[in-house]
Structure 1
Amino acid sequence: MNARAAEEISHAVHAAVEAAVWAPSIHNTQPWAFAVSGDEISLRADSDRRLRVGDPEGRQMLISCGAALFNVRLALRALGYESRVKVLPEPDRPALLATIRLEPANRPDDDTLSLHAQIERRRTHRAGFTTLPVPDRVIETLVRQAAAEGARLTPIRSEAAVRIVAALTGAAQDVQAQDRVLSLELIRWARPPGSGRRDGVPADAYPRSATRTQPHFAQRDYARGHNWGGDTDLAATSPGVVAVLTTPGDSREEWIGAGQALQSVLLHACGENVTAAFHTQALEMRHLREFLREELCSGEYPQMIMRFGVTLDVGGTTRRPVSEVLDGA
């Protein structure tokens, strides 16, 4: 490999890691770490950032890392490379989630470049949506993109089923709010106004007083009694389109795949000016997750509950610098 080619590859792998850190993660924990060796990127789980109470098996941590993996693949494709990915390549190193080796490819098409442009634009929403509808064609596109990554995105069209999901979310939230240890874990990742931290949920990323949707989808209480939060659109009362992301099985590989599917869906939605809100409370309680699997998910394993909609509010976000997640950066 000549010096120019080596320099181009070095630029590409660093750009891919820069894109990866913009992936969504539970409570913005950013539980990933990267290493680079020549034309290969290694993605590892940062277990120090796993939610030991809320995510004891690391399922949500691996979904978060899967979303980061999708960003790596997309960024490389936008730079004219394809990715040869090996998921869980070494069974005796469980923290090593994937290796990504660069391979030359054709020039990226306009769709790839457009999708890549959404990486830093995407935001998580934590309130209701406006009554502006999400076009059916957009939902159909999101369903196809999830399928392309090996997962299933199912919009919940039945009003009764939507009420069930909302009720389970509220029940889980009420139970979790009474759990002191779980609440302390949440507080760890709730950033007060003016905080200089580059992880966790910033105070302007959720509304100070959210308008209730019908049916109501309970939100995490990051403020915990403080007058934190930003202003919100008081007319944003629609729950939006409720959907569940599922996988046939529930292995670590499928969790990583679910994360890749999730990020593909979110970026395609963002390109249509559609935002997503997440609700994982019920999925963090084994019996509620099993109820959803059996009663609403046709036996598949629910990995994420989402609402899609249109909002005029843009919440804040922040990410750690690449130097903190890339070995030797």
Structure 2
Amino acid sequence: MELLDARIERILRAAGRAPSVHNTQPWQVRVHGNRVVVRADPSRQLRHSDPQGREMLISCGAFVLNARLAARRESLLPVVTVLPDPDDHLLVAEIGLRPGPGPDIDELELAVAITRRVTTRSPFDDQPLDADVLQAIQIAAHDEGAVLRLIQPSEPARDQVMSLVRRAEALAAEDPAARGEEKAWTAVAPDRPDGIPQEMLGPWTFDDRSPVRRFLASAGNAQFEQRSTMAVLLTAGDTPRDWIAAGQALERLLLVATTYFVRASFATTVLENPTTRHDLRQALSLDAPPQMLMRLGYGTTPRRTLRRTVEDSVAPDA
């Protein structure tokens, strides 16, 4: 049991490296023997910009995917039940851990990539991703039940997408509640284990063709690339189950991208506003709900945001 406890601790540490909106890390876990229970933590929800908890559950889905891969690295088989209680939407998943064979090469590669994956808000190299890389990350999304719809630099609708991103950010900047929420989670102290420190917010850009989020506390400006790959992640439906699936798909594609030295940057504001989210779907003629908009490219490796300790994320038994 002592060895298994050590394994679970390593699994939870790796799971906590998952990306989350504003690095809120909105998850809480309980451990019952060989079973890990993952709950969404509403105290870390962005109540104004994410009132339904869509981004919160996407973040928790990414946590679950990391836990699955980290379990395989420990030669354990994760048996995952998503939303096991239909009356408790905060109970994201139960993960049973059983003895299993050692990880295969692909599982081990993705598990190792968990510690290397990083979000960046800096310019990329001015080139689209290679065709084999695009295929690999699209397959990764598909493996988790989602679709990654690419938006190439030459696509006419890309300008419409950029216009909607800027419109959503302008509306948020005029909203005192949105500004207050952003302030609470950005430009935080460098040693704070959540949120985004000032120096990691990235520079501004005044180029409307660059899908870079403009944080209110961003400092300086930079010339961003014009030919990076943009993509939008889609799910079949728009329910809590779909949002958790989106989080697992997002993290799997990001880890696959990491194995190719590809970095990601997210534009979330356009999907937080119901009007611009609808308009984005119309502009791209999407037949499924968009869950995440991102740019993908090659670039330098930035610093990583800090994470809470395992002890802080584990809730005491009731």
Fold match (TM-score > 0.5)? yes
Q: Which residue of 1 aligns with 2:172?
A: 176
| Match status 1:272 vs 2:267 | no
Task: Report the aligned-residue RMSD.
Answer: 1.9
Structure 2 residue identity aligned to 1:219: R
Shift of 1:147: 0.4
Counterpart of 1:101 in structure 2 is: 96
Q: Which residue of 2 aligns with 1:3?
A: none
The answer for the alignment partner of 2:55 in structure 1 is 60
User: Alpha-carbon deviation of 1:249?
Assistant: 0.5
Q: Where does residue 303 of structure 1 map in the other structure?
A: 291
For 2:199, the equivalent position in structure 1 comes to 204
The amino acid of 2:55's aligned partner reads Q
Please report how far the alpha carbon of residue 216 of structure 1 lies from its aligned counterpart in structure 2 after TM superposition: 2.6
Q: Match of 2:248?
A: 260
Are the aligned partners of 2:161 and 2:283 in contact in 1 as well (CA < 8 Å)?
A: no
1:288 to 1:132, Cα distance in 2 relative to 1, 3 A: closer
1:161 to partner: Cα distance: 1.5
Three-state SS of the structure 1 residue aligned to 2:187 is: coil
Instruction: Select which of 35, 44, 47 maps to 1:40.
Output: 35
Q: Distance in 2 between matches of 1:176 and 1:292?
A: 17
Separation of aligned partners in 2, 1:71 and 1:321: 16
CA distance in 2, matches of 1:245, 1:287: 18
Deviation at 1:99, TM superposition (A): 0.1
DSSP-derived class of the 1:34 partner? strand
Change (3 A) 1:314 1:33: same
Q: Runs of at least 4 residues of structure 1 off by over 4 A?
A: 211-214
Q: Would you say the 8 A contact 1:152–1:246 is kept in 2? A: yes
Tell whether the 8 Å contact from 1:127 to 1:219 is kept in structure 2 after alignment.
no
Q: 2:84 aligns with which of 81, 85, 89?
A: 89
- Relative to structure 1, is the Cα distance of residues 235 and 282 closer, same or farther in structure 2, using a 3 angstrom cutoff? closer
- Once the two structures are TM-superposed, the CA of residue 14 in structure 1 deviates from its matched residue by 1.5
Query: What amino acid does structure 1 have at the position aligned with 2:194?
Result: D
What secondary structure sits across from 1:94 in the alignment? coil
AA matched with 1:292:
L
Letter in 2 for 1:204: E
Aligned partners of 1:53 and 1:210: how far apart in 2? 24
Q: Conserved in 2, the CA contact under 8 Å of 1:246 and 1:297? A: no
Match of 1:289 among 268, 277, 282: 277
> Percent identical across equivalent pairs?
38
Superposed, which structure 2 residues align to 1:219-238 within 5 Å?
219-223=213-217, 228=219, 236-238=224-226
- CA separation in 2, counterparts of 1:70 and 1:98? 11
TM-score by length of 1: 0.91
- State the Cα distance separating 1:212 from its structure 2 match: 4.9
Secondary structure of 2:196's aligned partner: coil
Answer whether contact 1:50 1:58 (CA < 8 A) is retained: yes
SS at match of 1:71: helix
